[in-house]
């Protein structure tokens, strides 16, 4: 057993603490706030590395069949929660960055060209591994234009792998208990519409109740609802119609013990998207405060690029959209006795 591990050696502090080399010092024009600028961005990259580490670990679990009440699912929920907590810290770090004024930044900004946060290949890989596809990206024409070929190759490989969103879609599609006929033997249908919406009479009843809950100005929602329940429809927001139905069922009946972990998983994805959006908004606001309408040091359009990414880069939009199709708890169709037992572990 090794008993000689030293704190500094274990953390490689010599490398970390000697990794700050301000450009302003090299130009014999020392700018005090450049040290803060470097440390904050190095901290961001370390947290991006951890977020990627957690993302890959969740993806590895989801590549295998996952029981809906298993230690593996609990592990996924726990790691998604950790990712959200890290993201909140990333947002809070902007408060520290904003202790630097625009004039402080100008003391060294022009010395950084063409370096830019836009060149963070780890963040681009993280987006891809979560599920942001190339076709969804804002500013496709230059999002990798400032990167070296080895980093471009890493991003391209990440885009070709099954993302977390794809793996969650697969997990939702194989939700087993809904398809088992024995769980619905004593279900009492109300609507009786033929053929069954989404392949199941339960969804006929739900559609009828949902339609009655819509205000006059919301009638277009019914067409969107029907698209979710048409197996001929293309995947929307990264989720297939079958996966959408499973996710909506989980949201509706999350009070049952068997669905609590699946609901927490879906909620974790929504929180990740929300924190990404919050980080992008704070980043955009900070950039506008610091450089106004000027272009970024890496050649991007600065605030305008960040605004476009904020508006477009929602990864789990397909999950978020399902909240449009919820109804009040007291109006939910009563499940069959067998289904209630299955979801309640009895």
Could you list the residues known to form a binding site for heme, using ranges: 283
The token pair that represents 75 in the structure block: 């592990």
Rounded CA-CA distance 245/257 in Å is: 19
CA-nearest of 80, 83, 38, 92 to 278 is 92
Place of tokens 């009479």: 201
Rounded CA-CA distance 64/61 in Å is: 6
Angle between helices 220-228 and 201-213 (to 10 degrees): 160
Q: Is 28 left (phi over 0), alpha (psi -120 to 50) or beta?
A: left
Cα dihedral 112, 114, 116, 118, rounded to 10, equals 180
Annotated binding site for substrate: 37-41, 109, 297
SS3 80: helix
Annotated binding site: 37-41, 109, 283, 297
């Amino acid at each position: 057993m090794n008993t000689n591990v030293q704190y500094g050696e274990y953390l490689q502090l010599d490398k970390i603490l000697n990794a700050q080399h301000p450009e302003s010092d090299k130009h014999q024009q020392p700018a005090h706030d450049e040290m803060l600028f470097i440390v904050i961005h190095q901290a961001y990259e370390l947290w991006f590395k951890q977020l990627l580490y957690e993302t890959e670990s969740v993806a590895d679990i989801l590549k295998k069949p996952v029981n809906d009440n298993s230690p593996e699912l609990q592990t996924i929920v726990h790691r998604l929660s950790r990712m959200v907590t890290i993201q909140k810290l990333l947002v809070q770090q902007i408060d520290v960055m904003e202790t630097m004024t625009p004039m402080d930044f100008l003391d060294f900004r022009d010395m950084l060209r063409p370096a830019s946060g836009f060149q963070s290949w780890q963040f681009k890989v993280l987006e891809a591994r979560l599920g942001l596809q190339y076709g969804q990206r804002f500013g496709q024409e230059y999002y990798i234009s400032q990167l070296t070929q080895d980093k471009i190759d890493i991003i391209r490989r990440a885009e070709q792998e099954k993302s977390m969103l794809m793996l969650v879609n697969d997990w939702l599609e194989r939700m087993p208990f809904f398809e088992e006929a024995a769980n619905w033997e004593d279900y009492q249908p109300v609507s009786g519409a033929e053929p069954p919406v989404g392949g199941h009479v339960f969804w006929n009843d739900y559609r009828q109740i949902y339609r009655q809950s819509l205000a006059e100005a919301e009638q277009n929602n019914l067409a969107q609802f029907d698209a979710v329940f048409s197996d001929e429809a293309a995947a929307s927001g990264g989720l297939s119609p079958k996966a959408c139905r499973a996710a909506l069922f989980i949201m509706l009946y999350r009070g049952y013990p068997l669905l609590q972990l699946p609901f927490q998983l879906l909620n974790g994805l929504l929180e990740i998207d929300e924190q990404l959006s919050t980080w992008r908004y704070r980043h955009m606001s900070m950039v506008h405060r610091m450089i106004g309408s000027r272009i970024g040091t890496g050649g991007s359009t600065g605030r305008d690029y960040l605004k476009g990414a904020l508006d477009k880069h929602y990864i789990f939009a397909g999950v978020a959209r399902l909240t449009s199709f919820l109804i009040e708890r007291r109006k939910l169709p009563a499940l069959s006795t067998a289904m209630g037992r299955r979801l309640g572990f009895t």
